[in-house]
Amino acid sequence: MTDINNFFPRITVMRIIYIVLVVFTIIGCTDLEQTDTQVSDLQGFPDVELFGGTISFTKEGLQQFQISAPHISRFDRTNLMLFEDGVTADLYDKLGEHTAVLTSEAAEVFEKAQRLLARGNVIVRSDSGIVVYADTLYYTPDDKLVRSDGFVIMVSPDDSVSGWGFIASPDMGDWEIKNTSGSTWREIITDEE
């Protein structure tokens, strides 16, 4: 009888240890740190919601970008606009001329800075024929640059280049990828020719 009485308390202690380990494992696998650009930081409901709309951003009378989506939410407290369920944005150069079309799953616009952050299957098709694929991409009208810190693929008639650390003009005429890999179809001219 003594052995059976010692057995049941062990099972209870083992269950408690198991439950504690499961709880710590779940907490340890949860990302508790969030950035200021995540939707989960927004508390409460949006101040304005628009279903199916297009919004233009201008500066000194020149078009910066125009963005449309099936669902748009504006949060007055943070001056943030969320565009969801499929986004299309037209990008413009310093003269207000159209240069590219951006599509993504979602986007955020920080109204005061007029900075655009596109997220999820981002594709930029420049009017010159260059196409850029990325997971996230920033567009800042002040310096007229398109940026991505993540992995990008850029395809042109002459090149297919991929890598990290992408910076480009909105028309993709001037671009840089810091950590590159890829191939080119350009003719290489050597001194021997």
Q: Does residue 142 carry a pLDDT above 50?
A: yes
C-alpha span between 93 and 13 (Å, rounded): 68
22-31, 113-122, 142-151 — which is least confidently predicted?
22-31
Percent of the chain predicted with pLDDT > 70:
74
Among 3-17, 95-109, 120-134, 170-184, the least confident range: 3-17
pLDDT at site 164: 92
pLDDT tens for each residue of 102-112: 999 999 999 88
Q: Are residues 106 and 74 in the same domain?
A: yes
**Domain coverage including residue 4:** 1-31
Shared domain check, 56 and 136: yes
DSSP secondary structure letter of residue 53: E
How far is it, in rounded angstroms, from Cα 186 to Cα 174? 17
Same domain, 97 and 16: no
- Are 17 and 84 part of one and the same domain? no
Does 190 map to a domain? Answer: no
Domain contains 162: yes
Answer yes or no: are the C-beta atoms of 91 and 65 closer than 8 Å.
yes
Do 101 and 26 share a structural domain?
no
**Cα–Cα distance for residue pair 14/108, rounded to 1 Å:** 48
Looking at the structure, tell me whether residues 114 and 163 fall in a common domain: yes
In this structure, the answer to whether residues 122 and 146 fall within a common structural domain is: yes
Please report the pLDDT score of residue 131 as a whole number.
95
pLDDT bucket at 173, cuts 50 / 70 / 90: confident
Question: At 170, is the pLDDT very low, low, confident or very high (cuts 50, 70, 90)?
Answer: confident
Whichever domain contains 148, its CATH number is 2.60.450.10
Task: State whether 82 and 6 are in the same domain.
Answer: no
- Do both 61 and 7 map to the same domain? no
Tell me the pLDDT tens digit for each residue of 22-64.
666 666 665 544 444 455 455 578 999 999 999 999 888 889 8
Query: Number of structural domains, the chain?
Result: 2
Residue 127 pLDDT > 50, yes or no?
yes
Average per-residue pLDDT in the chain? 82
pTM: 0.71
Residue 105 lies in a domain: yes
* 163, 125: one domain: yes
Res. 157 pLDDT band, cuts 50 70 90: confident
Q: Are residues 22 and 89 in the same domain?
A: no
Give the lowest-confidence range in 12-21, 38-47, 74-83.
38-47
Residue 193 domain-assigned?
no
Asked if the structure places residue 192 within a domain, the reply is no
Q: Helix, strand, coil: what percent of the chain each, to 5?
A: 15, 55, 30
Tokens describing residue 110: 């920080």
Distance (Å, whole) CA 162 – CA 135: 13
